[in-house]
A and B are shown apart, each in its own frame.
Chain A
Amino acid sequence: MTDLLQLTFSGIATGSIYALAALGFTLLWQASGTINFAQGEFVMLPAFAMLFFAAQGAPLPVAFVLTIAVAVAVLGWAFKRGVVDPLFRHGMMAIVVATIGLSIAMRNGVRIYSADAHPFPSLFADKLLRVGGVTVSLADAGTLAFALVLVVATQAFLARTLTGRAMQAVAQNTESAAVLGINVPLMILYTFAINAVLACAAALLVTPVYFGKFDMGESLGTKAFFAAVIGGFNNSRGALLGGVIVGIGENLAAAYISPAYKDAVALALFMVVILFKPQGLLGRKEERKV
């Protein structure tokens, strides 16, 4: 029983990282109808940026803040203006293909820079905590707390500020939002910027575990996509739920079935949800004109 609780807690912590990347998927989809299949590489690139700034002598928190500034400019503004905007009128498929291509380019671009796995400092000390008879690592507890704060802050921003509500309005009805005086392109840009910040946070949390490597985003991006679909692609809370379900499922499968099947869990859950509840666990059915 104790093992089960420990595995579950650790799974929730891992799942919260998936949730950060999955939240980016759902935000972009809701605000701009965009699916970014380079989302994993959007986590990998900030990891290398933080390593770069750290190599110049910047402490980790400073490197994190500098990376956020660069990521908002490159993965937010430049990505929207350079990739999404020109392709938007050609439909979803063009953006899907372009972001798959972008992910390959980013991966191999970084591979030219370095194909090695780079150790990455953790925000949290290497300590164990005893909570009600269950042993949890400070890294897991800290990761979970950090991710939760970010998810709650994102939700609060969307629900409790003028700009957040305008972003929601754009996500629900772009045409009406524009007529009501909401600056639709600016709100969509904010969404891309938030996605970039979430990607930086995911990089900060996940890289100490997986190391900074050119292909570290491949599996993370896929699992985050599955998590977003499982939770419901049009529901931000669904991203959190989907991430946690995938994280717990992976941990339990690795412990009780075989570590070899760990990575298959997200795919299996994804297939079950697509078959029986295609809108996701918390998602809504959407009607679209064709």
Chain B
Amino acid sequence: MSAPLLEVTDLRKSYGAIRAVAGVSFEVRPGEIFGVIGPNGSGKTTMFNSVLGQIAPDAGAIRLKGADITGLSPLALNRRGVGRTFQTLQVFGRMSVRDNLLVAAQEHRGSMFSRMFAAPDSGLGARADALIDLFRIGHVADKPAGSLSYGQQKLVDIAMAFMSEPDLVLLDEPCAGVNPSLVGEIAALLRELNRSRGGSFVVIEHNMDFVMGLCHRVMVMVEGEVLAIGTPDAIRADRRVLDAYLGN
């Protein structure tokens, strides 16, 4: 088996007496789509934000390709090949769709001084166009992102996370607020990106059909702890998971 891309070991985060994340451990393998599910308040987003450097964990270790990345800032993580999307839309509303994609990768180009004078597409145009084609948003590519429908903005948001060609993308509820037909489209896009680019994803999502149909393995969190990790079929068959969602 190949070495893990991401290893999270005994991650802990508390807010006063509340243990939001209580000793979570898991690993994500190269090329894997790893789902994270759990009832509201189970600590998924706190775990996510701790991995992504937006919250400092109280304890635990996070390793990316074997290197310790615990506590690194989102900026440092991005430069090491970690991308993310947010639960809420994070597009730059007054920039065009194409500019949103360009800005999502441009900080990886050139030096601090060369960026001051370089043209804004800086050789990234072809990469942006490829993603625009893949996400089928060419007809709105020159429109301000803020003027698009919620679903279209969601697609732009997800496409932006892939512009810097990251090794690992963490997607926080990519289907939140989108219509059922778009849910299928997002799943197909992520499958295609996983297949063609070998991308590894960690996906937090409440839509069970989406998670079970897309992910290679799924982790279930309850009250800050890992309840189960396994294939979608194994998770579906796990009585403890059903109890956690529906109550005993």
Contact = CB atoms under 8 A, between A and B. Distances in A.
B120 A160 contact: yes
Contacts of B94: 168, 172
Contacts of B74: 178-179
B78 interface: yes
B205 interface: no
A179 B122 CA distance: 20
B103 interface: yes
Interface stretch (B7-15, B106-114, B125-133, B207-215): B106-114
B104 interface: yes
B93 interface: yes
Interface string B113-142: 001111110100000000000000000000
Contacts, number: 85
Contacts of A179: 52, 74, 78, 83-84, 86, 90
A159 to B, nearest CB: 8
B220 interface: no
Interface string A167-180: 01100110110111
Interface residues of B, number: 35
Given A161-B117, A163-B115, A165-B120, A180 B107 contact: yes
Given A176-B90, A183-B107, A169 B78 contact: no
B110 A162 contact: yes
A169 B75 contact: no
A273 interface: no
A182 interface: yes
Contacts of B104: 180
Interface range for A: 20 to 34
A69 B112 CA distance: 19
A157 B116 CA distance: 8
Contact of B164 (A164, A165, A168, A181): A181
A161 B122 CA distance: 9
B156 to A, nearest CB: 12
Nearest to B94: A172
A162 B108 CA distance: 11
A184 interface: yes
Contacts of B116: 157, 161-163
A176 B116 CA distance: 21
Contacts of A160: 119-120
A159 B86 CA distance: 26
Contacts of B40: none
A173 B160 CA distance: 14
A178 B95 contact: no
16 contacts: A157-B116, A161-B119, A162-B106, A162-B119, A165-B102, A166-B107, A169-B95, A176-B90, A178-B74, A178-B75, A179-B52, A179-B83, A180-B78, A181-B75, A182-B75, A182-B107
Interface of B: 52, 73-75, 78-79, 83-84, 86, 90-95, 99, 102-110, 112, 115-120, 122, 160, 164
7 closest pairs, A vs B, by CB?
A181-B78, A176-B90, A162-B115, A181-B107, A172-B92, A179-B74, A163-B116
